[in-house]
């Protein structure tokens, strides 16, 4: 609807009790239908209670966005085509894909809040003139109480630094690697590759991020929340991503994930391989790296607010 003042703002609201999804989130078909691969990958790193809360919050946000788009849950747009990611500051960001992206050229903002077992989400569709949106449907964020992040969407560059939003918000810094696992890297019986191979990829990602943010390679201090969830074998192609999620005066915290995107198929022939329909999560971790204090003020490092511990 248009008015004398310009196009109207569309608003969608959804409220959900976590118990409504308790059984559904254990069913693979529902997870494939309802959530983007990035959201599922992050949910897999959480404990049972937080996983349910996280998925319920994301699903409420998707239903609110569907109302902004003017369609129902089973009216042509799958919830997985609405991916709710998150900035380093905790603000959710909506990525519209496929049919959802074709329904509106305008940005959609969303806010999510939790109260005990109840989650609520509000989505706002901004008129096109009210703000710019990227060509892939990426929209401007609004503040939220939701603390957890999800991994960045698929990119084809080795690393990206998103530009800072107006108002002094820090840029989001990410890094990306894609490698093929060679036959010489098999370490255990059954041609299994040891987990240290993935950790080397993670280390390279963390190093690249600290070079981008501080002009220094930094010193990797620890890994936390490390989980190996799927085997890696020779011939597999692995995509590894890192994203800076927190920074203090001396420390940088990076979320890391590795996915298998192509898989060798030795049973179908010596050189047979296949592209996976969905990237398979292989490993997740959080890394903490330390940078010398003197580098945080150098001219080579992008400016960003620090958070004291």
How far apart, in whole angstroms, are the C-alpha atoms of residue 219 and residue 216? 9
* CATH 3.10.129.10 location in the chain: 159-297
Q: What angle do CA 87, 230, 239 make, to 5 degrees?
A: 50
63 is in an annotated binding site: yes
Contact 84, 42 (CB under 8 A): no
Instruction: Specify the higher pLDDT residue, 225 or 257.
Output: 257
191 is in an annotated binding site: no
Query: 54-93: string of b/e by CB count within 10 Å (b at 16+)?
Result: bbbbbbbbbbbbbbbbeeeeeeebbbbbbbbbbbbbebbb
Contact 38, 85 (CB under 8 A): yes
How far apart, in whole angstroms, are the C-alpha atoms of residue 95 and residue 84? 6
How many residues does this entry show for the chain?
A: 309
Looking at residue 215, the DSSP 8-state letter turns out to be S
How far apart, in whole angstroms, are the C-alpha atoms of residue 197 and residue 181? 9
Given a cut of 90, whether residue 242 has pLDDT beyond it is yes
pLDDT at residue 209 in the model: 93
Query: Measured in whole angstroms, how far is the alpha carbon of residue 238 from the centre of its chain?
Result: 17
* CATH 3.90.470.20 location in the chain: 2-130
pLDDT at residue 136 in the model: 44
Q: Kindly state the tokens that stand for 181.
A: 């696992």
The highest-level CATH class for domain 159-297 is alpha beta
CATH superfamily, with its number, for domain 2-130: 4'-phosphopantetheinyl transferase domain (3.90.470.20)
Nearest to 65 by CA among 122, 3, 2: 122
Given a cut of 50, whether residue 135 has pLDDT beyond it is no
How far apart, in whole angstroms, are the C-alpha atoms of residue 199 and residue 192? 15
pTM of the entire predicted model: 0.45
% the chain with pLDDT above 70: 77
How far apart, in whole angstroms, are the C-alpha atoms of residue 54 and residue 36? 13
Summarised one tens digit per residue, pLDDT across range 36-93 is: 988 888 888 888 888 898 899 999 999 999 888 888 777 778 888 898 987 777 778 8
How far apart, in whole angstroms, are the C-alpha atoms of residue 246 and residue 51? 21
Given a cut of 70, whether residue 23 has pLDDT beyond it is yes
């Amino acid at each position: 609807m248009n008015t004398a003042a310009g196009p109207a703002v569309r608003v969608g609201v959804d409220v959900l009790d976590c118990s409504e999804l308790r059984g559904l989130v254990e069913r693979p078909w529902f997870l494939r239908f309802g959530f983007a691969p990035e959201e599922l990958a992050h949910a897999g790193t959480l404990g049972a209670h937080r996983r349910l809360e996280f998925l319920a919050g994301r699903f409420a946000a998707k239903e609110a966005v569907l109302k902004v788009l003017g369609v129902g849950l089973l009216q042509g747009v799958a919830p997985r085509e609405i991916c709710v990611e998150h900035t380093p500051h905790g603000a959710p960001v909506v990525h519209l894909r496929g049919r959802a992206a074709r329904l509106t050229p305008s940005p959609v903002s969303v806010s999510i809040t939790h109260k005990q077992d109840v989650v609520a989400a509000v989505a706002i569709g901004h008129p096109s003139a009210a703000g710019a949106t990227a060509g892939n449907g990426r929209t401007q964020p609004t503040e939220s109480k939701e603390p957890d992040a999800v991994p960045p969407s698929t990119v084809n560059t080795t690393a990206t630094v998103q530009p800072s939003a107006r108002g002094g918000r820090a840029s989001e810094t990410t890094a990306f690697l894609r490698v093929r696992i060679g036959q010489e890297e098999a370490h255990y019986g059954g041609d299994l590759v040891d987990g240290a191979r993935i950790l080397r990829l993670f280390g390279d990602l963390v190093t690249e991020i600290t070079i981008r943010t501080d002009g220094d390679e930094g010193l990797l201090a620890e890994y936390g929340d490390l989980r190996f969830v799927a085997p890696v074998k020779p011939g597999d192609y692995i995509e590894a991503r890192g994203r800076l999620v927190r920074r203090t005066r001396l420390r940088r915290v990076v979320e890391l994930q590795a996915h298998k995107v192509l898989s060798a198929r030795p049973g179908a022939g010596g050189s047979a391989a296949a592209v996976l329909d969905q990237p398979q999560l292989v490993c997740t971790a959080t890394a903490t790296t330390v940078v010398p204090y003197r580098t945080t003020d150098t001219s080579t490092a992008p400016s960003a607010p620090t958070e004291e511990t």
